[in-house]
Chains A and B, each alone.
Chain A
Amino acid sequence: MRCEEVRGRLDEWVEGALGERQKEAVAAHLAGCDDCRAEARELEALLAAAADLPREIRPPRELWAGIDARLGDEPSPMVVPLAARRGPRRAGLPAWAMVAAALALVVVTAAVTTILTRNYDEAVALKLRRAGESAPPTAARDEDVPGADEARFLAASQELLAGLEAQDLSPETMEIVRRNLEVIDAAIAELQVALDRDPGNGELTRMLLATYQRKIDLLEQAARSGEG
Protein backbone atom coordinates (compact mmCIF):
# COMPACT_ATOMS: atom_id res chain seq x y z
CA MET A 1 0.00 0.00 0.00
CA ARG A 2 1.20 3.45 -0.88
CA CYS A 3 1.02 6.48 1.41
CA GLU A 4 -1.81 8.12 -0.58
CA GLU A 5 -3.93 5.05 -0.36
CA VAL A 6 -3.31 4.72 3.37
CA ARG A 7 -4.20 8.36 4.01
CA GLY A 8 -7.47 7.81 2.17
CA ARG A 9 -8.32 5.00 4.57
CA LEU A 10 -7.26 6.57 7.84
CA ASP A 11 -10.79 7.82 8.60
CA GLU A 12 -12.02 4.25 8.62
CA TRP A 13 -8.86 2.92 10.22
CA VAL A 14 -9.19 5.06 13.34
CA GLU A 15 -12.82 4.02 13.67
CA GLY A 16 -11.96 0.35 13.27
CA ALA A 17 -14.27 0.25 10.27
CA LEU A 18 -11.90 -1.46 7.83
CA GLY A 19 -12.11 -5.08 6.76
CA GLU A 20 -9.57 -7.55 8.14
CA ARG A 21 -7.26 -7.55 5.13
CA GLN A 22 -7.24 -3.81 4.67
CA LYS A 23 -6.71 -3.33 8.36
CA GLU A 24 -3.60 -5.54 8.20
CA ALA A 25 -2.32 -3.74 5.12
CA VAL A 26 -2.73 -0.32 6.77
CA ALA A 27 -1.12 -1.55 9.99
CA ALA A 28 1.83 -2.93 8.08
CA HIS A 29 2.31 0.36 6.28
CA LEU A 30 2.01 2.42 9.45
CA ALA A 31 4.64 0.28 11.16
CA GLY A 32 7.13 1.26 8.50
CA CYS A 33 6.12 4.85 7.64
CA ASP A 34 6.73 7.66 10.14
CA ASP A 35 4.74 10.25 8.16
CA CYS A 36 1.61 8.19 7.93
CA ARG A 37 1.93 7.13 11.56
CA ALA A 38 2.14 10.79 12.61
CA GLU A 39 -0.92 11.49 10.51
CA ALA A 40 -2.84 8.69 12.19
CA ARG A 41 -1.84 9.92 15.66
CA GLU A 42 -2.99 13.42 14.81
CA LEU A 43 -6.29 12.11 13.63
CA GLU A 44 -6.74 10.05 16.77
CA ALA A 45 -5.89 13.05 18.93
CA LEU A 46 -8.43 15.15 17.04
CA LEU A 47 -11.18 12.59 17.52
CA ALA A 48 -10.37 12.21 21.21
CA ALA A 49 -10.50 15.98 21.63
CA ALA A 50 -13.80 16.17 19.75
CA ALA A 51 -15.32 13.46 21.91
CA ASP A 52 -14.12 15.33 25.00
CA LEU A 53 -15.74 18.64 24.14
CA PRO A 54 -18.32 19.65 26.74
CA ARG A 55 -21.81 18.53 25.84
CA GLU A 56 -23.35 21.47 27.60
CA ILE A 57 -22.52 25.13 27.29
CA ARG A 58 -24.55 27.69 29.19
CA PRO A 59 -25.75 30.43 26.82
CA PRO A 60 -24.11 33.76 27.66
CA ARG A 61 -27.51 35.42 28.08
CA GLU A 62 -30.74 34.34 29.71
CA LEU A 63 -33.01 33.10 26.92
CA TRP A 64 -36.15 31.98 28.70
CA ALA A 65 -37.98 35.31 28.69
CA GLY A 66 -37.70 35.52 24.92
CA ILE A 67 -38.97 31.97 24.56
CA ASP A 68 -41.82 32.42 27.02
CA ALA A 69 -43.07 35.44 25.11
CA ARG A 70 -43.35 33.38 21.94
CA LEU A 71 -45.15 30.34 23.32
CA GLY A 72 -48.79 29.84 22.46
CA ASP A 73 -51.30 29.06 25.17
CA GLU A 74 -51.19 25.36 24.52
CA PRO A 75 -48.75 23.06 22.81
CA SER A 76 -49.92 21.49 19.57
CA PRO A 77 -53.32 19.84 19.88
CA MET A 78 -52.01 16.40 19.06
CA VAL A 79 -52.08 14.65 22.38
CA VAL A 80 -53.92 17.03 24.60
CA PRO A 81 -54.57 14.88 27.64
CA LEU A 82 -58.11 13.88 28.30
CA ALA A 83 -58.31 16.07 31.35
CA ALA A 84 -57.64 19.20 29.35
CA ARG A 85 -60.70 18.57 27.20
CA ARG A 86 -63.13 18.21 30.04
CA GLY A 87 -66.29 20.16 29.91
CA PRO A 88 -68.87 20.71 27.22
CA ARG A 89 -67.43 21.60 23.88
CA ARG A 90 -70.50 23.21 22.45
CA ALA A 91 -73.57 22.14 24.29
CA GLY A 92 -72.64 24.28 27.27
CA LEU A 93 -71.97 27.49 25.39
CA PRO A 94 -74.15 30.30 26.64
CA ALA A 95 -76.99 31.30 24.35
CA TRP A 96 -75.45 34.69 23.56
CA ALA A 97 -72.31 32.97 22.26
CA MET A 98 -74.35 30.81 19.95
CA VAL A 99 -76.16 33.87 18.68
CA ALA A 100 -72.88 35.71 18.19
CA ALA A 101 -71.46 32.73 16.31
CA ALA A 102 -74.50 32.57 14.10
CA LEU A 103 -74.27 36.28 13.40
CA ALA A 104 -70.58 36.01 12.63
CA LEU A 105 -71.35 33.27 10.16
CA VAL A 106 -73.90 35.44 8.41
CA VAL A 107 -71.50 38.39 8.30
CA VAL A 108 -68.67 36.24 6.97
CA THR A 109 -70.91 34.74 4.36
CA ALA A 110 -72.20 38.11 3.29
CA ALA A 111 -68.70 39.55 3.08
CA VAL A 112 -67.47 36.65 1.01
CA THR A 113 -70.46 36.85 -1.26
CA THR A 114 -69.86 40.57 -1.74
CA ILE A 115 -66.24 40.01 -2.62
CA LEU A 116 -67.13 37.17 -4.92
CA THR A 117 -69.80 39.21 -6.63
CA ARG A 118 -67.57 42.21 -7.03
CA ASN A 119 -64.83 40.06 -8.46
CA TYR A 120 -67.29 38.51 -10.79
CA ASP A 121 -68.51 41.90 -12.01
CA GLU A 122 -64.96 43.05 -12.50
CA ALA A 123 -64.06 39.92 -14.37
CA VAL A 124 -67.02 40.32 -16.67
CA ALA A 125 -66.26 44.01 -17.22
CA LEU A 126 -62.66 43.17 -17.89
CA LYS A 127 -63.57 40.53 -20.39
CA LEU A 128 -65.94 42.85 -22.21
CA ARG A 129 -63.29 45.55 -22.27
CA ARG A 130 -60.69 43.19 -23.60
CA ALA A 131 -63.01 41.75 -26.22
CA GLY A 132 -63.91 45.25 -27.38
CA GLU A 133 -60.34 46.53 -27.42
CA SER A 134 -58.33 43.87 -29.03
CA ALA A 135 -59.98 41.13 -30.95
CA PRO A 136 -63.14 39.97 -32.67
CA PRO A 137 -65.36 37.65 -30.60
CA THR A 138 -64.19 34.48 -32.32
CA ALA A 139 -60.55 35.12 -31.52
CA ALA A 140 -61.46 35.85 -27.91
CA ARG A 141 -62.56 32.29 -27.33
CA ASP A 142 -59.38 31.38 -25.47
CA GLU A 143 -60.11 34.11 -22.99
CA ASP A 144 -63.65 32.91 -22.57
CA VAL A 145 -62.43 29.75 -20.99
CA PRO A 146 -60.97 31.28 -17.83
CA GLY A 147 -63.95 33.62 -17.66
CA ALA A 148 -66.30 30.69 -17.80
CA ASP A 149 -64.24 28.90 -15.18
CA GLU A 150 -64.42 31.90 -12.94
CA ALA A 151 -68.18 32.02 -13.23
CA ARG A 152 -68.33 28.31 -12.45
CA PHE A 153 -66.14 28.82 -9.38
CA LEU A 154 -68.33 31.66 -8.23
CA ALA A 155 -71.47 29.62 -8.59
CA ALA A 156 -69.85 26.75 -6.72
CA SER A 157 -68.60 28.97 -3.88
CA GLN A 158 -71.98 30.56 -3.46
CA GLU A 159 -73.69 27.22 -3.35
CA LEU A 160 -71.19 26.00 -0.79
CA LEU A 161 -71.54 29.10 1.33
CA ALA A 162 -75.28 28.69 1.33
CA GLY A 163 -74.80 25.08 2.35
CA LEU A 164 -72.44 26.07 5.15
CA GLU A 165 -74.89 28.59 6.45
CA ALA A 166 -77.54 25.93 6.70
CA GLN A 167 -75.18 23.63 8.56
CA ASP A 168 -74.68 23.76 12.24
CA LEU A 169 -70.90 24.13 12.31
CA SER A 170 -69.16 24.67 15.61
CA PRO A 171 -67.94 28.21 16.33
CA GLU A 172 -64.39 26.86 16.43
CA THR A 173 -64.73 25.50 12.91
CA MET A 174 -66.30 28.71 11.68
CA GLU A 175 -63.44 30.68 13.17
CA ILE A 176 -60.91 28.56 11.27
CA VAL A 177 -62.88 28.98 8.07
CA ARG A 178 -63.17 32.72 8.61
CA ARG A 179 -59.45 33.21 9.17
CA ASN A 180 -58.51 31.21 6.12
CA LEU A 181 -61.12 32.86 3.92
CA GLU A 182 -59.52 36.17 4.84
CA VAL A 183 -56.14 34.86 3.75
CA ILE A 184 -57.52 33.62 0.45
CA ASP A 185 -59.54 36.76 -0.20
CA ALA A 186 -56.48 38.94 0.38
CA ALA A 187 -54.60 36.86 -2.19
CA ILE A 188 -57.47 37.11 -4.65
CA ALA A 189 -57.56 40.89 -4.20
CA GLU A 190 -53.83 41.14 -4.92
CA LEU A 191 -54.19 39.02 -8.03
CA GLN A 192 -57.07 41.20 -9.19
CA VAL A 193 -54.91 44.31 -8.88
CA ALA A 194 -52.08 42.64 -10.79
CA LEU A 195 -54.49 41.46 -13.45
CA ASP A 196 -55.84 44.99 -13.80
CA ARG A 197 -52.34 46.19 -14.57
CA ASP A 198 -51.67 43.39 -17.01
CA PRO A 199 -55.05 42.12 -18.24
CA GLY A 200 -53.68 39.85 -20.93
CA ASN A 201 -51.53 37.81 -18.58
CA GLY A 202 -52.63 34.20 -18.85
CA GLU A 203 -50.44 33.08 -15.99
CA LEU A 204 -52.06 35.59 -13.63
CA THR A 205 -55.51 34.47 -14.72
CA ARG A 206 -54.51 30.90 -14.03
CA MET A 207 -53.22 31.84 -10.58
CA LEU A 208 -56.44 33.67 -9.84
CA LEU A 209 -58.47 30.62 -10.76
CA ALA A 210 -56.18 28.39 -8.71
CA THR A 211 -56.79 30.66 -5.74
CA TYR A 212 -60.54 30.46 -6.28
CA GLN A 213 -60.08 26.72 -6.27
CA ARG A 214 -58.41 27.00 -2.84
CA LYS A 215 -61.49 28.81 -1.65
CA ILE A 216 -63.81 26.14 -2.97
CA ASP A 217 -61.63 23.47 -1.40
CA LEU A 218 -61.76 25.22 1.94
CA LEU A 219 -65.53 25.60 1.84
CA GLU A 220 -65.96 21.97 0.80
CA GLN A 221 -63.67 20.84 3.55
CA ALA A 222 -65.64 22.88 6.06
CA ALA A 223 -68.86 21.43 4.74
CA ARG A 224 -67.52 17.90 5.08
CA SER A 225 -66.54 18.59 8.66
CA GLY A 226 -70.18 19.31 9.48
CA GLU A 227 -71.48 16.08 7.98
CA GLY A 228 -72.23 13.26 10.40
Chain B
Amino acid sequence: MNGQVRFSRGGLVALALCVLAAVGLTSTRSVAQGRVERGLAASADATIRIYNLSGSTSISGWDRDSVAVVAELEPGAGRFYMAGHEAIKLGVEPPTAGTTAGSARLEIRVPRGSVVWVKAADASIEVDGVEGGLDLYSVSGSVRVRGAPATVRAESMEGAIWIEARTPWLRAKTASGSIDLAGEVSDLAATSVSGTIRVVAARQARARIESVTGEVIVSGRPTRGGAWEIETHSGAVTLALAPDTDAEIDVHTFGGEVRSTLGRVLNRRTDDLAGSDWSIMAGAGGTSMTVRTFKAPVTIRPAR
Protein backbone atom coordinates (compact mmCIF):
# COMPACT_ATOMS: atom_id res chain seq x y z
CA MET B 1 0.00 0.00 0.00
CA ASN B 2 2.88 2.35 -0.45
CA GLY B 3 2.38 5.36 -2.64
CA GLN B 4 -0.49 7.79 -2.91
CA VAL B 5 -3.92 6.18 -2.68
CA ARG B 6 -7.02 8.27 -3.31
CA PHE B 7 -10.61 7.29 -2.65
CA SER B 8 -13.60 8.84 -4.30
CA ARG B 9 -15.85 10.80 -2.00
CA GLY B 10 -18.81 8.75 -0.84
CA GLY B 11 -17.32 5.42 -1.75
CA LEU B 12 -17.50 4.54 1.89
CA VAL B 13 -17.80 0.82 1.54
CA ALA B 14 -14.87 0.61 -0.81
CA LEU B 15 -13.04 2.96 1.47
CA ALA B 16 -13.68 0.84 4.53
CA LEU B 17 -12.57 -2.27 2.73
CA CYS B 18 -9.41 -0.60 1.53
CA VAL B 19 -8.67 0.71 5.00
CA LEU B 20 -9.18 -2.73 6.45
CA ALA B 21 -6.92 -4.14 3.79
CA ALA B 22 -4.31 -1.50 4.52
CA VAL B 23 -4.44 -2.11 8.24
CA GLY B 24 -4.35 -5.84 7.67
CA LEU B 25 -1.41 -5.61 5.34
CA THR B 26 0.71 -3.39 7.52
CA SER B 27 -0.02 -5.26 10.70
CA THR B 28 1.22 -8.50 9.19
CA ARG B 29 4.67 -6.94 9.14
CA SER B 30 6.20 -7.26 12.55
CA VAL B 31 8.01 -3.91 12.49
CA ALA B 32 6.81 -1.26 10.11
CA GLN B 33 9.58 1.13 9.26
CA GLY B 34 11.05 3.39 6.70
CA ARG B 35 8.99 5.75 4.62
CA VAL B 36 5.22 5.45 4.26
CA GLU B 37 3.11 7.64 1.97
CA ARG B 38 -0.65 7.56 2.27
CA GLY B 39 -3.64 9.46 1.05
CA LEU B 40 -7.27 9.39 2.09
CA ALA B 41 -10.40 11.23 1.01
CA ALA B 42 -11.74 13.40 3.81
CA SER B 43 -14.63 15.76 4.30
CA ALA B 44 -13.73 19.43 4.10
CA ASP B 45 -14.40 19.88 7.81
CA ALA B 46 -13.14 16.53 8.99
CA THR B 47 -12.16 15.95 12.59
CA ILE B 48 -8.69 14.52 12.57
CA ARG B 49 -7.10 12.88 15.57
CA ILE B 50 -3.38 12.37 15.35
CA TYR B 51 -1.20 10.35 17.71
CA ASN B 52 2.53 10.46 17.48
CA LEU B 53 4.42 10.08 20.71
CA SER B 54 8.02 10.64 19.72
CA GLY B 55 9.65 12.54 16.89
CA SER B 56 7.77 15.29 15.10
CA THR B 57 4.36 15.96 13.65
CA SER B 58 3.97 18.71 11.15
CA ILE B 59 0.51 19.55 9.82
CA SER B 60 -0.47 21.98 7.13
CA GLY B 61 -3.83 22.89 5.66
CA TRP B 62 -4.47 22.64 1.94
CA ASP B 63 -7.36 23.30 -0.41
CA ARG B 64 -8.24 19.69 -1.14
CA ASP B 65 -10.71 17.31 0.42
CA SER B 66 -8.14 14.75 1.35
CA VAL B 67 -5.50 13.90 3.87
CA ALA B 68 -2.00 13.06 2.70
CA VAL B 69 0.72 11.77 4.95
CA VAL B 70 4.39 11.16 4.57
CA ALA B 71 5.65 9.21 7.55
CA GLU B 72 9.25 8.37 8.28
CA LEU B 73 9.43 5.72 10.91
CA GLU B 74 12.46 4.58 12.79
CA PRO B 75 12.73 0.90 13.56
CA GLY B 76 10.79 0.29 16.75
CA ALA B 77 8.59 3.35 16.30
CA GLY B 78 5.59 1.16 15.67
CA ARG B 79 2.98 0.89 12.97
CA PHE B 80 1.50 3.74 10.97
CA TYR B 81 -2.29 3.74 10.65
CA MET B 82 -4.96 5.95 9.14
CA ALA B 83 -8.70 5.48 8.72
CA GLY B 84 -11.95 7.40 8.50
CA HIS B 85 -13.59 10.07 6.39
CA GLU B 86 -15.43 12.63 8.50
CA ALA B 87 -13.63 11.55 11.60
CA ILE B 88 -10.16 10.44 10.79
CA LYS B 89 -7.70 8.80 13.10
CA LEU B 90 -4.10 8.52 12.13
CA GLY B 91 -0.75 8.16 13.74
CA VAL B 92 1.85 5.74 14.90
CA GLU B 93 0.81 2.89 17.12
CA PRO B 94 3.69 1.94 19.38
CA PRO B 95 4.60 -1.74 19.76
CA THR B 96 3.53 -1.60 23.42
CA ALA B 97 0.80 0.80 24.46
CA GLY B 98 2.09 4.19 25.60
CA THR B 99 5.75 3.47 24.97
CA THR B 100 7.95 3.75 21.96
CA ALA B 101 11.41 2.60 21.09
CA GLY B 102 11.84 4.83 18.08
CA SER B 103 10.53 8.08 16.76
CA ALA B 104 8.49 9.01 13.74
CA ARG B 105 8.43 12.08 11.58
CA LEU B 106 4.97 12.79 10.19
CA GLU B 107 4.20 15.35 7.54
CA ILE B 108 0.48 15.67 7.15
CA ARG B 109 -1.68 17.69 4.76
CA VAL B 110 -5.26 18.16 5.86
CA PRO B 111 -8.27 20.02 4.43
CA ARG B 112 -7.92 23.64 5.48
CA GLY B 113 -11.20 23.56 7.42
CA SER B 114 -10.33 20.49 9.50
CA VAL B 115 -10.57 20.29 13.23
CA VAL B 116 -7.27 18.86 14.35
CA TRP B 117 -6.38 17.12 17.58
CA VAL B 118 -2.81 16.04 18.23
CA LYS B 119 -1.29 14.08 21.06
CA ALA B 120 2.46 13.76 21.61
CA ALA B 121 4.87 12.71 24.33
CA ASP B 122 8.22 14.21 23.40
CA ALA B 123 7.31 14.81 19.78
CA SER B 124 7.13 18.37 18.54
CA ILE B 125 3.90 19.58 16.96
CA GLU B 126 3.75 22.16 14.22
CA VAL B 127 0.59 23.40 12.55
CA ASP B 128 0.34 25.86 9.69
CA GLY B 129 -2.66 27.08 7.71
CA VAL B 130 -5.43 25.03 9.35
CA GLU B 131 -8.63 27.04 9.86
CA GLY B 132 -10.71 24.69 11.99
CA GLY B 133 -10.15 24.22 15.69
CA LEU B 134 -6.82 23.04 17.04
CA ASP B 135 -6.26 20.96 20.16
CA LEU B 136 -2.58 20.23 20.61
CA TYR B 137 -1.06 18.34 23.50
CA SER B 138 2.56 17.49 24.06
CA VAL B 139 4.36 16.51 27.24
CA SER B 140 7.88 17.69 26.58
CA GLY B 141 7.79 18.54 22.90
CA SER B 142 7.31 22.02 21.54
CA VAL B 143 4.12 23.28 19.93
CA ARG B 144 4.17 25.81 17.08
CA VAL B 145 1.15 27.29 15.37
CA ARG B 146 0.78 29.70 12.49
CA GLY B 147 -2.29 30.70 10.54
CA ALA B 148 -5.89 31.61 11.29
CA PRO B 149 -7.50 28.74 13.19
CA ALA B 150 -11.04 29.02 14.60
CA THR B 151 -9.76 28.15 18.06
CA VAL B 152 -6.43 27.09 19.52
CA ARG B 153 -5.76 25.06 22.62
CA ALA B 154 -2.09 24.30 23.03
CA GLU B 155 -0.60 22.51 26.00
CA SER B 156 2.84 21.28 26.76
CA MET B 157 4.15 20.31 30.15
CA GLU B 158 7.69 21.29 29.38
CA GLY B 159 8.05 22.16 25.72
CA ALA B 160 7.98 25.67 24.30
CA ILE B 161 4.69 26.92 22.90
CA TRP B 162 4.98 29.39 20.07
CA ILE B 163 1.89 30.77 18.39
CA GLU B 164 1.58 33.49 15.80
CA ALA B 165 -2.00 33.44 14.66
CA ARG B 166 -5.18 35.32 13.91
CA THR B 167 -7.82 33.63 15.98
CA PRO B 168 -10.80 34.61 18.10
CA TRP B 169 -9.94 32.19 20.91
CA LEU B 170 -6.65 30.92 22.24
CA ARG B 171 -5.64 28.97 25.32
CA ALA B 172 -1.99 28.14 25.96
CA LYS B 173 -0.86 26.23 28.98
CA THR B 174 2.47 24.94 30.19
CA ALA B 175 4.10 23.88 33.42
CA SER B 176 7.73 24.75 32.84
CA GLY B 177 7.92 25.46 29.12
CA SER B 178 7.83 28.96 27.69
CA ILE B 179 4.89 30.55 25.90
CA ASP B 180 5.30 33.06 23.07
CA LEU B 181 2.17 34.57 21.60
CA ALA B 182 1.76 37.07 18.82
CA GLY B 183 -0.88 37.92 16.27
CA GLU B 184 -4.48 38.97 16.49
CA VAL B 185 -6.30 37.09 19.22
CA SER B 186 -9.61 38.36 20.58
CA ASP B 187 -9.79 36.17 23.64
CA LEU B 188 -6.47 35.01 24.98
CA ALA B 189 -5.44 33.08 28.06
CA ALA B 190 -1.93 31.90 28.83
CA THR B 191 -1.02 29.97 31.94
CA SER B 192 2.23 28.62 33.26
CA VAL B 193 3.72 27.45 36.52
CA SER B 194 7.38 28.30 36.08
CA GLY B 195 7.70 28.99 32.35
CA THR B 196 8.16 32.47 30.90
CA ILE B 197 5.17 33.96 29.09
CA ARG B 198 5.76 36.55 26.39
CA VAL B 199 2.86 38.19 24.63
CA VAL B 200 2.95 40.81 21.92
CA ALA B 201 -0.06 42.97 22.58
CA ALA B 202 -2.24 43.86 19.62
CA ARG B 203 -5.97 43.49 19.11
CA GLN B 204 -6.79 41.40 22.13
CA ALA B 205 -10.23 42.22 23.49
CA ARG B 206 -9.57 40.07 26.54
CA ALA B 207 -6.31 38.67 27.74
CA ARG B 208 -5.59 36.76 30.89
CA ILE B 209 -2.04 35.76 31.78
CA GLU B 210 -1.18 33.80 34.89
CA SER B 211 1.91 32.18 36.28
CA VAL B 212 3.33 31.16 39.62
CA THR B 213 7.06 31.82 39.28
CA GLY B 214 7.25 32.30 35.51
CA GLU B 215 8.18 35.71 34.18
CA VAL B 216 5.56 37.62 32.18
CA ILE B 217 6.53 40.06 29.46
CA VAL B 218 3.94 41.99 27.49
CA SER B 219 5.24 44.13 24.67
CA GLY B 220 3.70 45.88 21.70
CA ARG B 221 0.70 48.17 21.65
CA PRO B 222 -2.62 46.94 23.02
CA THR B 223 -5.50 48.23 20.93
CA ARG B 224 -7.88 50.49 22.81
CA GLY B 225 -10.85 48.85 24.43
CA GLY B 226 -9.10 45.69 25.56
CA ALA B 227 -9.06 44.25 29.07
CA TRP B 228 -5.89 42.65 30.35
CA GLU B 229 -5.37 40.74 33.55
CA ILE B 230 -1.94 39.58 34.56
CA GLU B 231 -1.25 37.72 37.75
CA THR B 232 1.85 36.04 39.12
CA HIS B 233 3.07 34.89 42.48
CA SER B 234 6.75 35.66 42.14
CA GLY B 235 7.31 35.85 38.37
CA ALA B 236 8.50 39.33 37.38
CA VAL B 237 6.04 41.24 35.23
CA THR B 238 7.24 43.63 32.55
CA LEU B 239 4.96 45.74 30.41
CA ALA B 240 7.19 47.18 27.70
CA LEU B 241 4.57 49.00 25.69
CA ALA B 242 4.67 51.31 22.73
CA PRO B 243 5.25 54.83 24.05
CA ASP B 244 1.96 56.01 22.55
CA THR B 245 -0.09 53.29 24.26
CA ASP B 246 -3.46 54.40 25.59
CA ALA B 247 -4.13 52.45 28.77
CA GLU B 248 -5.12 52.61 32.41
CA ILE B 249 -2.77 50.35 34.27
CA ASP B 250 -3.56 49.23 37.80
CA VAL B 251 -0.90 47.40 39.74
CA HIS B 252 -1.31 45.63 43.02
CA THR B 253 1.53 43.81 44.72
CA PHE B 254 1.99 42.62 48.28
CA GLY B 255 5.75 42.51 48.33
CA GLY B 256 7.09 43.36 44.89
CA GLU B 257 8.67 46.57 43.76
CA VAL B 258 6.84 48.67 41.19
CA ARG B 259 8.62 50.85 38.69
CA SER B 260 6.95 52.82 35.97
CA THR B 261 8.36 55.13 33.36
CA LEU B 262 5.32 55.06 31.10
CA GLY B 263 2.52 57.60 31.34
CA ARG B 264 1.57 59.41 34.53
CA VAL B 265 1.22 57.90 37.98
CA LEU B 266 -2.22 59.02 39.14
CA ASN B 267 -2.16 57.34 42.47
CA ARG B 268 0.33 55.42 44.54
CA ARG B 269 -0.30 53.89 47.94
CA THR B 270 1.97 51.62 49.95
CA ASP B 271 1.07 49.85 53.14
CA ASP B 272 3.21 47.37 55.08
CA LEU B 273 0.50 44.77 55.28
CA ALA B 274 -1.66 45.44 52.25
CA GLY B 275 1.20 46.07 49.81
CA SER B 276 1.33 48.69 47.07
CA ASP B 277 -1.31 49.94 44.70
CA TRP B 278 -0.43 52.02 41.68
CA SER B 279 -2.70 53.61 39.11
CA ILE B 280 -1.02 54.69 35.93
CA MET B 281 -2.52 56.54 33.00
CA ALA B 282 -0.75 56.07 29.69
CA GLY B 283 -1.87 58.34 26.87
CA ALA B 284 -5.59 58.86 26.82
CA GLY B 285 -6.45 55.54 28.49
CA GLY B 286 -9.08 53.24 27.05
CA THR B 287 -7.42 49.87 27.59
CA SER B 288 -7.64 48.38 31.03
CA MET B 289 -4.58 46.53 32.26
CA THR B 290 -4.50 45.01 35.72
CA VAL B 291 -1.35 43.49 37.17
CA ARG B 292 -1.32 41.59 40.44
CA THR B 293 1.64 39.90 42.03
CA PHE B 294 2.32 38.48 45.43
CA LYS B 295 5.98 39.39 45.62
CA ALA B 296 7.21 39.87 42.08
CA PRO B 297 8.59 43.15 40.75
CA VAL B 298 6.45 44.96 38.21
CA THR B 299 8.10 47.14 35.59
CA ILE B 300 6.14 49.35 33.27
CA ARG B 301 8.11 51.14 30.65
CA PRO B 302 7.97 52.32 27.09
CA ALA B 303 9.37 49.81 24.64
CA ARG B 304 12.83 50.86 23.60
Which A residues contact B (CB, under 8 angstroms)?
Answer: 76-80, 82, 85-92, 168, 170, 172-173, 176-177, 179-180, 183-184, 187, 190-191, 194, 197-198, 201, 203-204, 207, 210-211, 214, 217-218, 221-222, 224-226, 228
B159 interface residue per 8 A CB criterion: yes
A211 to B193, CA, bound (A): 9
A217→B122 contact, CB < 8 A: no
Also in contact, A173 and B101, with CB within 8 A (given A190-B294, A198-B273)? no
Contact partners of B193 in chain A: CB under 8 A? 180, 183-184, 214, 218
Q: B298 to chain A: closest CB distance in Å? A: 15
A77→B159 contact, CB < 8 A: yes
8 Å CB contact of A176 from B155, B158, B252 = B158
Residue contacts A-B, CB under 8 angstroms, 27 given: A77-B124, A85-B55, A85-B122, A86-B103, A88-B101, A89-B100, A89-B121, A89-B122, A91-B95, A91-B100, A172-B139, A176-B176, A180-B193, A183-B193, A183-B194, A187-B212, A190-B233, A190-B294, A191-B294, A198-B273, A198-B274, A201-B274, A214-B193, A214-B210, A221-B173, A221-B175, A225-B139
Q: B232-258: contact bitstring with A at CB < 8 Å (1 yes, 0 no)? A: 011000000000000000001010000
B71 interface residue per 8 A CB criterion: no
Contact partners of A221 in chain B: CB under 8 A? 155, 157, 173, 175
Also in contact, A217 and B191, with CB within 8 A (given A78-B159, A88-B99, A170-B121)? yes
8 Å CB contact of A224 from B124, B137, B158, B273 = B137
Determine the residue in chain A with the shortest Cβ distance to B233: A187
A179 to B212, CA, bound (A): 13
A-B pairs with beta carbons under 8 A, tally: 135
B157→A225 contact, CB < 8 A: yes
A78 to B140, CA, bound (A): 9
A66 to B194, CA, bound (A): 25
Q: A122 to chain B: closest CB distance in Å? A: 18
Determine the residue in chain A with the shortest Cβ distance to B195: A180
B124→A176 contact, CB < 8 A: no
Q: A192 to chain B: closest CB distance in Å? A: 12
Q: B31-43: contact bitstring with A at CB < 8 Å (1 yes, 0 no)? A: 0000000000000
A218→B175 contact, CB < 8 A: yes
A180 to B158, CA, bound (A): 10
Contact partners of B100 in chain A: CB under 8 A? 88-89, 91
B292→A207 contact, CB < 8 A: yes
Residue tally, chain B, CB below 8 Å to A = 52
Which one of A92, A180, A210, A226 has the greatest number of beta carbons of chain B within 10 Å?
A180
A86→B102 contact, CB < 8 A: yes
Q: Does more than half of chain A's interface fall in helix, strand or loop, or is it mixed?
A: helix
8 Å CB contact of A183 from B105, B213, B252 = B213
Q: A112 to chain B: closest CB distance in Å? A: 14
Contact partners of B54 in chain A: CB under 8 A? 85, 89
Contact partners of B119 in chain A: CB under 8 A? 228
B294→A176 contact, CB < 8 A: no
A46 to B100, CA, bound (A): 62
A80 to B193, CA, bound (A): 24
B74 interface residue per 8 A CB criterion: yes
Contact partners of B274 in chain A: CB under 8 A? 198, 201
A80 to B105, CA, bound (A): 11
Q: A44 to chain B: closest CB distance in Å? A: 28
A176→B175 contact, CB < 8 A: yes
Q: B119-158: contact bitstring with A at CB < 8 Å (1 yes, 0 no)? A: 1011010000000000001011110100000000001011
Also in contact, A207 and B96, with CB within 8 A (given A78-B124, A218-B175)? no
Interface residues of B in 72-128 (CB under 8 A from A): 72, 74, 76, 95-103, 105, 119, 121-122, 124
B184 interface residue per 8 A CB criterion: no
8 Å CB contact of B139 from A82, A173, A190 = A173
B99→A177 contact, CB < 8 A: no
8 Å CB contact of B231 from A88, A170, A194, A210 = A210
Contact partners of A86 in chain B: CB under 8 A? 74, 102-103
The 9 closest A-B pairs by CB, nearest first: A78-B142, A187-B233, A180-B175, A88-B101, A180-B193, A90-B99, A85-B103, A91-B99, A176-B157
B56 interface residue per 8 A CB criterion: yes
A180 to B121, CA, bound (A): 18
A198 to B294, CA, bound (A): 14
Contact partners of A210 in chain B: CB under 8 A? 210, 231
8 Å CB contact of B140 from A77, A79, A88, A90 = A77
Determine the residue in chain A with the shortest Cβ distance to B159: A77
Contact partners of A203 in chain B: CB under 8 A? 252, 292
B160 interface residue per 8 A CB criterion: yes
Q: B91 to chain A: closest CB distance in Å? A: 11
Contact partners of B233 in chain A: CB under 8 A? 187, 190-191, 207, 211
Determine the residue in chain B with the shortest Cβ distance to A172: B140
